[in-house]
């Protein structure tokens, strides 16, 4: 490790919520406190750190709160891009507070700051014609039809495997992190930055001049890769609830991938070895980071972060 090396860490859902939890603030904050201990290890090792995170359950709950407010009290709901900004704010607050507290306990005088981050997408992205990203809770057919009466613009898809209907929204490919220069300036000034939460707030630029938010959700790992590449980070670390990427995951012949070249992983990805709803975006983000000039991308389990950065755990993707 070189002193002051910049790494971007993408936190998976288990950093905020664990299986079986309802999502109270206390549950989430306790999980973030645990996560902060692993992040503080990296700061103690001398790394410059940028943190990004998911917001799937949180934005789903926020949308439900807005919907309930409309039905019960006639409070106008906010659009999805604004709900994304809401979740960036409160998740960033939790990370700021918990990580700053952990650093102070270790005698490290570093400040953590959250940047409300917009991500530019292409308004002609095919994803806008094919909504596929599930958000919010599962509904019965009757509940879904009632919501469709209130919100005829909503699109729902049935999940026959788990039973029920879920709202789906477009998931366009991230192009540019709008606040990238501000984030880089803060990092160079010595701050730990939380940015591009939940994949960032999706915006399009009309005629290259006026930015406006769109009803969509960007994959947080693909947006994290864009952030890492645009900042010139040397490493991009994707933390999840499994200890790496596997071939034939969940089958008797499953095999963990340890160290692999991006070109070899690209071939496996193109052959369809990684499901689009789980490991697929993580693998694609790791491949893209190397193709964009990164030194190393790592997929690892949260509690193994220190071992992963030192090469003893996780899947390592290299040029």
Question: Does the annotation count 220 as an active-site position?
Answer: yes
Candidates 133, 198, 200, 244; catalytic one:
133
Candidates 31, 54, 92, 220; catalytic one:
220
Candidates 12, 13, 197, 244; catalytic one:
13
Question: Does the annotation count 253 as an active-site position?
Answer: no
Instruction: Please check whether residue 206 is in contact with residue 212, taking contact to mean a CB–CB distance below 8 angstroms.
Output: yes
Question: Long-range contacts of range 67-73, CB-CB < 8 Å, 24 or more positions apart?
Answer: 67/147, 67/150, 70/150, 71/150
Helices (H), 139-179: 141-150
Provide the pairing of β-strand 165-169 with 155-158.
Answer: antiparallel
Question: What distance in Å separates the CA atoms of residue 139 and residue 157, rounded to the nearest whole number?
Answer: 10
Provide the pairing of β-strand 192-195 with 112-115.
Answer: parallel
Instruction: Please check whether residue 108 is in contact with residue 40, taking contact to mean a CB–CB distance below 8 angstroms.
Output: yes
Distant-in-sequence, close-in-space partners of 207: CB < 8 Å, separation ≥ 6:
none
Question: Does the annotation count 282 as an active-site position?
Answer: yes
Candidates 54, 136, 200, 282; catalytic one:
282
Candidates 14, 48, 92, 294; catalytic one:
14
Instruction: Please check whether residue 193 is in contact with residue 169, taking contact to mean a CB–CB distance below 8 angstroms.
Output: no
Annotated catalytic residues are 13-14, 133, 220, 282
């Amino acid at each position: 490790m070189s002193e002051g090396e910049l790494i971007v860490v993408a936190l998976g859902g288990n950093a905020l919520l664990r299986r079986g939890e309802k999502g109270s603030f206390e549950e989430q904050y306790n999980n973030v406190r645990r996560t902060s201990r692993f992040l503080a290890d990296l700061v103690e090792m001398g790394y410059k750190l940028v943190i990004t995170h998911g917001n799937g359950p949180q934005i789903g709950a926020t949308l439900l709160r807005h919907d309930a407010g409309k039905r019960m009290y006639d409070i106008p709901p906010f659009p999805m891009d604004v709900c994304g900004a809401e979740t960036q704010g409160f998740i960033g607050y939790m990370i700021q507070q918990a990580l700053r507290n952990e650093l102070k306990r270790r005698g490290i005088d570093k400040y953590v700051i959250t940047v409300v981050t917009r991500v530019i997408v292409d308004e002609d992205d095919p994803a806008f014609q094919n909504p596929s990203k599930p958000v919010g809770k599962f509904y019965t057919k009757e509940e879904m039809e009632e919501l469709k009466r209130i919100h005829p613009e909503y699109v729902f898809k049935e999940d026959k495997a788990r039973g029920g209907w879920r709202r789906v929204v477009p998931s366009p490919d991230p192009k540019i992190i709008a606040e990238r220069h501000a984030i880089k300036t803060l990092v160079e000034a010595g701050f730990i930055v939380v940015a591009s939460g939940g994949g960032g707030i999706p915006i399009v630029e009309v005629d290259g001049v006026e930015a406006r938010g769109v009803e969509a959700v960007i994959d947080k790992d693909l947006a994290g890769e864009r952030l890492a590449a645009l900042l010139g980070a040397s490493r991009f670390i994707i933390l999840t609830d499994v200890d790496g990427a596997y071939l034939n995951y969940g089958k008797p012949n499953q095999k963990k991938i340890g160290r692999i070249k991006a070109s070899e992983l690209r071939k496996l990805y193109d052959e369809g070895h990684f499901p689009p709803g789980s490991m697929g975006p993580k693998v694609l983000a790791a491949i893209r980071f190397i193709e964009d000039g990164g030194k190393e991308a790592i997929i690892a389990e949260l509690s193994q972060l220190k071992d992963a950065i030192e090469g003893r755990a996780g899947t390592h993707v290299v040029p």
